[in-house]
Every structure is written in structure tokens, then in C-alpha cells.
Structure 1
Amino acid sequence: MWLNGSMSRLRTSAPILGILLVAALARTWHLSQNDYGRQYYAAAVRSMMESWHAFLFNSFDAAGFVTIDKPPVAIWLQALSAKLLGFSGHSILMAQVVAGLLAVLLTYLMVQRTFGPRAAAWSALFLALTPVSIAVDRSNNTESSLIVVLLLAAWLAMRAAETGRLALLCGAMGILGIGFNIKMGAALVLAPVIALTFSLAWRDRPILWHLTRQAVAGIVLIAVALSWVSYFDLVSPSQRPYAGSTKHNSMLELALIHNGAARFLKPKAEPPDATTPAAASTPASVIPEPDTVAPPLPALYDDSPTGFLRLLRPRAATQMAWMLPLALVGVALVWLTPIAAAATSPRFVGAGIWTGWLVSYWIVLSFAGGPVHTYYVAILGPPLAVFSGIAIAGLYERWKSGLLPRWGLPLLAVLMAAWQSYLFFGQEGVTDVTWLRWIWLTSIGIVLACSLLLVARPNLARLAAASGAAALLVLPGLTAASVVIVRPNVAVPVANMASLANPPDARQEAIRRLRQNAARQKLVRFLTDNRQGETFLVAVPNANVAAPLIIETGLPVMAMGGYLGDDPILTPQALERLVADGRIRYVMLGGFTLAPESTALDAIGQWVRANGRRVDQRQWSLYRRKRDAPYHIRRGNRWIAVPPPELFDMRPDGQTVRIGAKGN
């Protein structure tokens, strides 16, 4: 009996175990190619490992000069992973890999209890293979952590709506509050969905009953969401870092403006359209010559027109919506089929939460007029996967019971083939590749052939349906494989099928990395050899220049203008005091920047040039360049001139150790 029970549990668990194995392979295979991911966040992790003060205040640097532009929870998890496994790119990225696997498992468990094991298995499989889900789970961006938190909140919300228990509703809202401390307002989109589903499930209760519970849950949400933000703003500015990406040194401003209204309002000036990973994550002195810069990768921001059709365009849809017609069938099956008499039934509640999630985030991402990264659509992965899984299970049950019209599955197969063909031909650089066109033709041909078999040979329906379903996974699977096989833009991790046909030249990439590492190490050696107790190793214009130096050394590097270089953190007078107090000796100007030409650093640059001594370039850089000669970097599809990096010694009377001198 015990053996029979064990075998039964094994058979029941086998599908999800297999799916988790596939998901793990997709998220860990060749993961080392992504290095540290986005070096901006990786540097913050390194700083947090060096200082509990930096950890508490989410500081970019160990000295607590400026914070990163996101709240702390996701970065805390990365720091804990690095503390446990040792600081490395692998340990940082593993935090998101684990989050991605948890998302697949949670999706399975949530769907299983409401729509059955078959729907659960297919839902988990679709999420495991969603291209953008794999891309973000292999990065150190915060989407993976946010999605896990949203799934946990949705699960508690379902239980709250089924039982009417206030504690569960408060728990769901409290978890959303934690989500706010992962990606601020992005987590709160689900709050109205939870509140509305709970109210509809118990719509026969008095209005006072509803108001009381919603008010208490709302207070919990606000209290948890603003706990860290309030603490940060209440601490004296002299005792904490500057709130990065703000104009008034307020974390509440970061939540309401930079990570809030600015995401919906179209900026006066268009954001930079793209950067290569090399330029975006390399100190100015290490950026290679123009003829060695990698070709531009997909755009940094999604600048497509806002509106309901935005996410139906191939740029976004190829990331998460290859199965969109199937998902829409799932939505129809859920709402057009009698669910249960009781509004509190698990199926009614589950349908409400999943539909609300899909619709609300679809609207938000469709109409956000501010800077929107394409990988944000990862948040639509779970509901689209769930409805696709529900569709397959529902269609199978109807086919088995004879309730499905004979033309139903063939029609759906033709629609799926047409939709996937639209996505395939809508991608830039794909249709020019012969072998990709053959894969498209073969997979779509199999789908259409199977649809004909479903009509002409009903006795082969099971084989035809299975073969057609497998063929429909080919193109999304190929898209997902692109981020596993080819290193993506780690700053904006999206899948790109065309990269399979045009991977970067491995030899040139290796040479570029060797040159960058050698140049960075020469700069680091000069700075560390000449450090005489200063707090900061060097002050640089922005976090993109500072990040690799922090990763390399673990020492504080001052990003004078914050992330982009346009935060009004520092004045010439404040810098003068820091120099006088012995906290800073070296200041670097020029080099790579994402900020507009006129920034808060202009006055500082003038003061540094007037009061510092320019360090001989031969002492700290591998490159030889005339003093005023700009170099060029590639941003999107154009070259831009960038002022050459210059290093200044603000205490020229101090002893300087020359690289290569005797004894060094």
C-alpha cells in the first residue's frame, strides 16, 4: 500500500518536476555569458556586502553617497545570495533564477487547485518557456522577484475571496506592499483587482462590511509599502545616501515621480534609444576604439505608439504572446462556461484574479507614455500562460466528451499559424535568414497538415493534436533559446530570434574584453597604489562609469551625478570640502554618459579643472589620445562624440606612485 501511494504521488508530481527541470536548464545553461548582468545593480550588491549601512539604505556605493534608482528588496535578495555563495556574477543571477523557478511552481499549484492538473501542467510549461521570462530570470533586473511576489499575493487573495477572511485579504495586500519595495508602483496595479474580486465574491454582504475590510486591508498595504520609504526620508540627509534619480533627495519623490508619473507621461526629450552592453557597463577609460564597438542591439526603450495595439506589435508580442489566440480561447472558456452557482467558488475567484491581472497590466503597459523597457511585458507572462493552459485542458475535455465542434481545433490551429507567422515576419532581421525561414515553413506546415488531419481523419485526432501542439512550440522555443545561446543586452534582457543568425564575433568579443580588462586593471592599480586613506577611490561622473570599478575592488567610488549623471547631488563647494577633509583625491571627468549634454556636473567640472592637476594619461590609461580629441561610441544606430576621460589629482602635493616605477 505504501509503495502504491508513493508511485501515485510520483506520477502526480512527474509533470511539474519535468517542467521545473526544463525551466532550470533554460535559466542556467550558459548563464556565465551574462557576467554580472546589469553592472549598476551588481555594484550595489558588492557595496552592500561591504557595509550594513549601505545594505540598509540601498546604497550604490559602500560609503553611502547615493542610492540606486529602485527600492531595496530585490537587491537585498541578490546581496544575500552573494553573501551565501560568494560574490560573483553567478551568485547574483541565481537569485533571479530561483525566483523564476518559484514562479513556475506557484503557477502550477495555483492553477491545479482551481482548474485541475492538466491545465496546471500546461500553464507551468508555457510560463517556463516564455521568452521574456527566461530573459529576465537570467538577468539581475527586478522583474523576477516582483512576479513571485504578485503570484503570492494573488494566491492569498484567492483564498481571501473564497473564505471572506480579513486576515488573508490583509496578507495579500501586505505582500503587495513588499512588492512596492521591489518595484514601487508596478506592484500596486494588482491591488484594485484583488479588492474588486473580494467584493464581487461577497457582494451580498452589507456595504459597511465591505468598507471596513477594504479600509483595514488598504491601511496594511500603505503601511507595508511606505515602511522603508518613510524610514529613509525621516533619517537626516546627512546620515544617509542621497536618493538617486530624484531632484529633491526624497525616496517618496522617487516612487511618485521617477518610478511613478514619469512612466506614464511622455518626456519632453526622447530618452536615449539604445546602448551597447560594452558601453553601458564599462568605465570611460575602458571603452574601446570606435571600430571595435559591438553593433547596436535592440532598442533600450520601447518607443512604439501607445494604445491597445502596442503589445500586439511584434517587438512586444514576440516576448510573451506567441500563444495569444490560445490564451483568448482560455479566457472565453472561463467566462462563457457556467463556473459555479456560488461567487466564492475557487474557479470564479481564480478567473477574476487572472483576468484582472491580464487586463490591468495590459492597459498600463499599453498606455504608459514614459520610458518603457520591452522586458516589462514579463509581468504578463503568468496570466497569459494560465489562460493558454486552461484552453488546452478545456478543449481536451470538450473533445473527449464530444462537445467540441469538428471544425473547432482545426480553426484554432489555423489562427495560431497565422498569428505566429505575423510575429515571425514582423521581426527585424529574421526573414532574411534562409534557415530561419525553413524552420518557420516546416513548423507552420506541420500545424496546417495536422489541422487537415483533424478534419479528414478523426481516428488520428489525438496524434494530430499532439503533433500540432508541438509544432506551435517551435518558434517561441527558438525565440527563448536566443537568450540562452547568445548573450543578450544585459541591461535590457529581451529575446531576439535574429541574434541566432547573427551572433557576435567570438574572437572580436574576446579581444574587446581583454582590452577592457587590461585597461580597467591599469586604472584600478594606479588608484589603489595612490590611495592614502581617502574614503573614495575616485569620483566619476555617473554610476555607469563607477560600477565596474566597484565590482573590481569593492571600494567606494563616488558617482557624482548618480545613475545617469544628472542628479543634483554635489556642488563645487561640497566637493571642495570633501577634498579638504581628505575624503577624495582623484576625480574623473568626461567619458561615457546617458545624461543630456548640460548637466548638474558642469560647474563641478569647471572647478575640478581650475583646482586640480591633470594626471598624465600614460599613468592610468592604455589609450593615447590628444587632450581635447573626443572619442565616439555607438548609441542605437548613430555614433556620438563623447568628451575623452580625464583624471585629475585634487591634492597634487600628495605623493604619487607611478605605475611601472621601481618597486611597483
Structure 2
Amino acid sequence: MTTTLDPGAPAAAPVPDPPPPPRPRPRWELPTLAGLLVATAALYLWDITASGYANSFYAAAVQAGTQDWKAFFFGSLDPGNAITVDKPPASLWVMALSGRIFGFSSASLLVPQALMAVGVVALLWATVRRIAGPAAGLVAGAVFALTPVAVLMFKFDNPDALLVLLMVGAAYATTRAIEKAGTRWLLLAGVLIGFAFLTKMLQGFLVLPGLVLAYLWAAPTGMWRRIRQVLAAGVAVVVSAGWWIVAVALWPAADRPYIGGSTDNSALELAFGYNGLGRIFGGSGNGGGVPGGGVPGGGVPDGAFSGGGPGGGGGGFGGQTGLGRLFSSEIGGQISWLLPAALLLLVAGLWFTRGAARTDRTRAALLLWGGWTVVTTAVFSLMEGTFHPYYTVALAPGIAALVAVGGHEAWRARDTWTGRGTLAAATALTAVWSFVLLGRTPEFLPWLRWVVLVAGVVVAVVLLVPVGRRRWLAAVAAAAVLVGAAGPAAYAVDTTTTAHQGSIPSAGPSVEGARGGFGGGFGGPAGFGDRDGAGASPAAPGGSGPGEEHTDAALAELVTGAAGARWAAATLGSQSAASLQLATGASVMAIGGFTGSDPAPTLEQFQAWVAAGDVRYFVSGGMGGGPGGGREGRGTGAQIQEWVQQHFTASTVGGRTVYDLSSPTS
């Protein structure tokens, strides 16, 4: 800090020291970065259409958005605008715009998701590089790219890909803001978090504590200015997140689709109920209760049910709540490979920077990424509502950045026993945990776990020895990185070469004894679950799993012939509707939303639409969103089904009972 030297002059406000000059860019950095980005694109784009439409629930909404602008704006499941998906539409906008430009297909649906992974890697490199140098930036990008659950979700059509991209963008903007107390950068971070809310609602706010803590602690300006800037950024969050919520509230309800997943047709209630407190505490609102339970909105569009997990205290297919959840059989192989090392390096990094000035940017980065990781880990571990293993993709950037920044600080202190001990402990811990995780899939590369364990122990011992030769040090550091990356890289390659469909996808090979779900990494029967189920997706023949349903050719032909109607068909549950809509391109109404239990449409609304000739066929007998959902109808769905059965003649088409609503019997 610089201050006035005149003792008679009034005290001047402290002037922050200028940030250090930019690090010189080594000649190898940009070629290596280019190679990393190309490799990431290759890994994530590899055979990407093998998954077909992936999650048909979101794919149908994207298809609807390519056909109708109102469906695009609201995130409607159907172009006739009966009901929306259970999330805000930001992620659907990206995929629907791609579909409008290139035509709706598996490629136009999923390629933008894969390219977002390249964007995340680039942003992580740029963010970490500003703090810990080019090598650390490249390590952070590579660690993220090789995280199995990241490979899964950035090749899928769930909202998580855009969510992670926006949150990492907010972290970059906050890092830039901290350097010079820049208000504009901080406002940009707020806008990005607001759009993260419009992607997956309150999950986008989990990183806020880390961003706010880092800025309030380290920005080089006075406390009150820091507080005012953070409050201004909060306003940016509210405005960028709230404009769509306000638009939905002000739009006449009769002229827009019902907000799926809500109990009162309100986007705000959806945000703080089913997608908010319901996720944390479970047992209330849409998604509460056990499978087949009678609570309103008991179905869960993510493909599971909140509460009532095995043994009680569960969170759907995410296993038991508790601090060990992220290390369990259901979830460990998805995300936890480097989580122990990341937490160790966070603590070590804070110790190494304990004597630094308040404005030290390395400690600020540790607070930012540490807050991101610790808060998200705690929420995911303890939440009692709906939880799926793939949610953990939100942890991948935080883990990657902590490994890179914390590892860099320990490397700088390698001349001390503390520094060398930290590096050795992180390497050994990662090797041992990788050995455990790989042991859960004993038929998958059985030799790899032993190679990782032995190499990890050897590298850890070498790291304890003080060595002065630069080339030898570089080789040892590279070996440590390879030890940490070997296990997740193998799972990542397995994930990218396997087709995934349905509502509960998982990364990596099947885990024996896992209780979390069906198929894939959860050890369920082949073809039932996320891993080789086909549904209506192209290029992926086989059995169907939760969230996917096969559409018979005869039924598809019948519905296609009625494509001129506002709704060519109506059926119970969004999964039946989505599969039929994807197979035909016609508008299909999902009565009651995901499992047929949302209170929409009402019987009176449906009767009016039928009388106006807006609905041609009613198709019964399909699946809802999961076990026990929608097949026989619940709530208003049951009323509509009963009315149709009483007033229209049934016929069988492709194994399904179909009613022609243009020819009433009475």
C-alpha cells in the first residue's frame, strides 16, 4: 500500500498495489492448449449420435422449440403448448436454436453440449492461469475434461452442461473482478449466475458463497465499496434470473403452457418448491414421496423419486444421505477420484498463503474454488430430496481448479518438508482411492488398479526426497499427474464409447452391488436404465429404460397422419408423449406432465380442446416417467382417462389402446 508522507496532510485512503505484470507466455503454452482443446473435442464428440436423442424428455422439448416460438420461449414439451418441462428453458434455447439452424436431429441436439465442454476447459485454463501459471491452467482443464461424469453430461441433453459452463464463466469473471476491484466484471458474474438459474434454478446458486467470499475478502478496495459492488452484482443476478419468471407470471395463464412440476402453475413456486426446498428436504411438493405415492406431482422428471431411499433418508437413486455419499458405489466413480486430494490441497494452499496480504490472489482463488467445492459437496451429501449421481458434474470444475492451484502452491514450497509432504500425500491418497474405485469394477482393466497403486506409492516416495535437478523434478511432477489421471481417464474413455439414454444416466463401467438405479454404472440389468435403452431414439436399437419408451411403427404412422391437429395425440405422462412425439414429429400432449400427476390439463380444459377438434387421438397403456408413474393415470389424468373411456371407442394399434376423439360414441 502507498500513503502520503506529509504528516500534516489529511489521511488518505489506501491505494491498492497494482497487480503483478502478466506472466510471460512460454512458447509451448498455446500449442499445448490447442492440443488439449482438440483432444477434448475429440473425446466429447466421439460417436456422439450413438446416444440418439439421449433423454427424450428434454429432446421432445427441444423439438417443440424448433417448431413453435412460444414453445421455445416457455420450454414446452409439445408445440401445442400444453405443459412445460420441469426446468427453465435456457439450456433448451441453445439446443433448439441449433435445431432451427441445422435441422432437428441427434447431432444438432448433442453437438452444442459437447462444444460447451471445450468452452469449460478453455475458461478453466484462462482462470487458473491468471493465478497459478500456464502449467496449472492446463492441468485444471485436463482434469475437468477427464472427469467421467463430465464426459457423460456434456454428451447428453440435460441442462447440466450449460449450467456448468455458466458457473465457470462466473468464476472467471469474478477472478478478473478481484484483480482490480472491477465492477463490470462482477456484474457480468452476476448476469451469468442469473442465467445459471434460468438453466437449473437454485442449483446455479450453490457457487455463490465461494464467489462472494473471495471477492469480499480479497478485492483491492475498501470494505464498503466491496459490499456495494457485491450488492450490485446481486441485483444483476435477480434481474437476469427474474425477467423470465416475471414474464411467465404476467403472461395470461390461459394463453401459455402449464408450468410442469409446479403445483399452482407458477415458475416461482417451481423454483422454491420442487426445484428448491423439495430437493433439499424432500417429502413435499412435486417429486416428494415414494414411487407411485399419492402426493401431487409425485413423479420426478430426472427419473427418480425423492425421499424414501433404501434404508430411509435416501435421495432418490443417489443412495443414503451423509458425508460418505459422494464416495459410495453409486457415485464414487462418477466424480470422487480427485476429491480427497482437492480437499487436502485446499487446506494446504490456505496454510501456505496464511501470511499473504489480504488481497493475495492465490488465496482468493482458493476461497473461490474451495467455497464452490465445499458448499456443493455438503449440499449434495446431505440433501434428502431427489438426487442423481450425474448432478455431481457441478463439482468437476471446483475439484480441477483446487488440484491445479493447491498443487501449484505445494510445488512452490517443495524445498520444505511441508511442501514435499503435501505433494506426496496428495499423490498417495489419489492412488489408493483410485485403487479402491477401480476395484469396484473388477472386470474392467483389472491390471490398471495395481499399476496406479504401485506407481502412486513410488512417486509419493520420490516426492519426499529433495531433488534439485529441474528436468528430474518435471518428470516427477508429470508422473504424479499421470497417476491421478489414469483411473478417471479410463472411465472417461469407457463413457464416451458407450451410448446412454433415459433419465438416470451414469458414467463408466457397471459397478457391482450399487443400489442407486438401473443399468450402467449402477449395476442393474442390461438394457434397463440409462446405458443401452433405446426408446424412440435413432441409431440405438435395444431395450428401453426409465425415461425411454419404444414407439410401435403402426402407432407412429397413425399419429403422423393427424399431424395437422394442434395435438395429434394425448397420452398420460411426458415420457410416453415424448417418445411418440420424437418418433412422429407431431405434437403430442403429455397429460399431467412427467408421470401424469401434474394438475394439467383439467378435465374441463381437455373436454373443450376435444370439442374444438384440437386433439385427435388419446393413447393409453404407456409408461410414465418411472416405476409406478402414469400408466393408469392419477389426479386429473385419471379423470380424463375415465371420461375418454366412457365416450369414445377403443381400438388397439401397435399394442396400445387408442381412442379416436373425433368420433364420440355419445
Give the TM-score band, short-chain normalised.
0.7 to 0.9
Quick one: which amino acid aligns to residue 582 of structure 2?
Answer: I
CA distance in 2, matches of 1:369, 1:249: 24
Equivalences for 1:554-565 in 2 at 5 Å?
Answer: 554-565=585-596
Preserved contact between residue 46 and residue 79 of structure 1 (Cα < 8 Å): yes
CA distance in 2, matches of 1:153, 1:457: 39
Q: 1:321 is paired with a residue of what secondary structure?
A: helix
Comparing 230-239 with 416-425, greater Cα deviation is found at 416-425
Question: 1:409 deviation in Å?
Answer: 4.8
Equivalences for 1:393-412 in 2 at 5 Å?
Answer: 393-399=408-414, 401=415, 409-412=423-426
Provide the identity percentage.
Answer: 26
Select the structure with the greater relative contact order (CA < 8 A; seq sep ≥ 6): 1
CA distance in 1, matches of 2:207, 2:484: 31
| Gap regions ≥5 residues in structure 1 | 1-6, 274-279, 282-298, 624-644, 655-664
How many residues of Structure 1 are paired with residues of Structure 2 in the alignment?
Answer: 591
Quick one: which amino acid aligns to residue 356 of structure 1?
Answer: G
CA distance in 2, matches of 1:94, 1:533: 30
Aligned partner of 2:612 among 581, 600, 625: 581
Which deviations, in whole Å up to 9, do the C-alpha atoms of 1:409-454 show, x marking residues without a partner?
Answer: 55444322222223233x3xx23x2x63332223322333444566
Assess, with a 3 A threshold, how the Cα gap between structure 1 residues 463 and 216 changes in structure 2: closer, same or farther.
closer
Comparing 316-325 with 29-38, greater Cα deviation is found at 316-325
Match for residue 646 of structure 2?
610
Q: 2:619 is paired with a residue of what secondary structure?
A: strand
Match for residue 523 of structure 1?
555
Assess, with a 3 A threshold, how the Cα gap between structure 1 residues 457 and 359 changes in structure 2: closer, same or farther.
closer
Preserved contact between residue 110 and residue 157 of structure 2 (Cα < 8 Å): yes
Equivalences for 1:262-273 in 2 at 5 Å?
Answer: 262-267=278-283, 269-271=289-291
Aligned partner of 1:328 among 326, 337, 343: 343
Aligned partner of 1:566 among 581, 597, 606: 597
Preserved contact between residue 190 and residue 233 of structure 2 (Cα < 8 Å): yes
Equivalences for 1:136-147 in 2 at 5 Å?
Answer: 136-147=153-164
CA distance in 2, matches of 1:174, 1:450: 44
Question: 1:28 deviation in Å?
Answer: 1.1
Q: 1:343 is paired with a residue of what secondary structure?
A: coil
Preserved contact between residue 50 and residue 554 of structure 1 (Cα < 8 Å): no
Q: Does 1:420 align with 2:434?
A: yes
Match for residue 209 of structure 2?
192
Preserved contact between residue 478 and residue 497 of structure 1 (Cα < 8 Å): no
Equivalences for 1:69-218 in 2 at 5 Å?
Answer: 69-201=86-218, 205=222, 207=224, 209-218=225-234
Assess, with a 3 A threshold, how the Cα gap between structure 1 residues 578 and 42 changes in structure 2: closer, same or farther.
same
Question: 1:579 deviation in Å?
Answer: 1.5
Match for residue 636 of structure 2?
600
Comparing 590-599 with 401-410, greater Cα deviation is found at 401-410
Question: 1:406 deviation in Å?
Answer: 6.4
Q: 2:663 is paired with a residue of what secondary structure?
A: coil
CA distance in 2, matches of 1:461, 1:271: 56
Q: TM-score, normalised by structure 1?
A: 0.81
Match for residue 442 of structure 1?
451
Match for residue 542 of structure 1?
573
Quick one: which amino acid aligns to residue 27 of structure 1?
Answer: Y
CA distance in 2, matches of 1:148, 1:23: 15
Q: 1:157 is paired with a residue of what secondary structure?
A: helix
Preserved contact between residue 647 and residue 664 of structure 2 (Cα < 8 Å): no
Assess, with a 3 A threshold, how the Cα gap between structure 1 residues 130 and 254 changes in structure 2: closer, same or farther.
same
Preserved contact between residue 245 and residue 254 of structure 1 (Cα < 8 Å): yes
Preserved contact between residue 22 and residue 128 of structure 1 (Cα < 8 Å): no
Match for residue 484 of structure 1?
496
Preserved contact between residue 451 and residue 464 of structure 1 (Cα < 8 Å): no
Quick one: which amino acid aligns to residue 366 of structure 1?
Answer: S
Q: 2:658 is paired with a residue of what secondary structure?
A: strand
Match for residue 16 of structure 1?
33
Which deviations, in whole Å up to 9, do the C-alpha atoms of 1:513-545 show, x marking residues without a partner?
Answer: 79x99953311212333x395321111111101
Comparing 12-21 with 194-203, greater Cα deviation is found at 194-203
Preserved contact between residue 132 and residue 493 of structure 1 (Cα < 8 Å): no
Match for residue 237 of structure 2?
221
Aligned partner of 2:319 among 284, 298, 304: 304
Question: 1:253 deviation in Å?
Answer: 1.2
Assess, with a 3 A threshold, how the Cα gap between structure 1 residues 143 and 533 changes in structure 2: closer, same or farther.
closer
Which deviations, in whole Å up to 9, do the C-alpha atoms of 1:312-365 show, x marking residues without a partner?
Answer: 324323212212343234213421113774423432322221111111211221
Q: Does 1:646 align with 2:657?
A: yes
Q: Does 1:371 align with 2:386?
A: yes
Comparing 484-493 with 101-110, greater Cα deviation is found at 484-493
Aligned partner of 2:266 among 222, 246, 250: 250
Which deviations, in whole Å up to 9, do the C-alpha atoms of 1:251-289 show, x marking residues without a partner?
Answer: 11111111111101222623489xxxxxx99xxxxxxxx
CA distance in 2, matches of 1:70, 1:494: 21
Assess, with a 3 A threshold, how the Cα gap between structure 1 residues 571 and 409 changes in structure 2: closer, same or farther.
closer
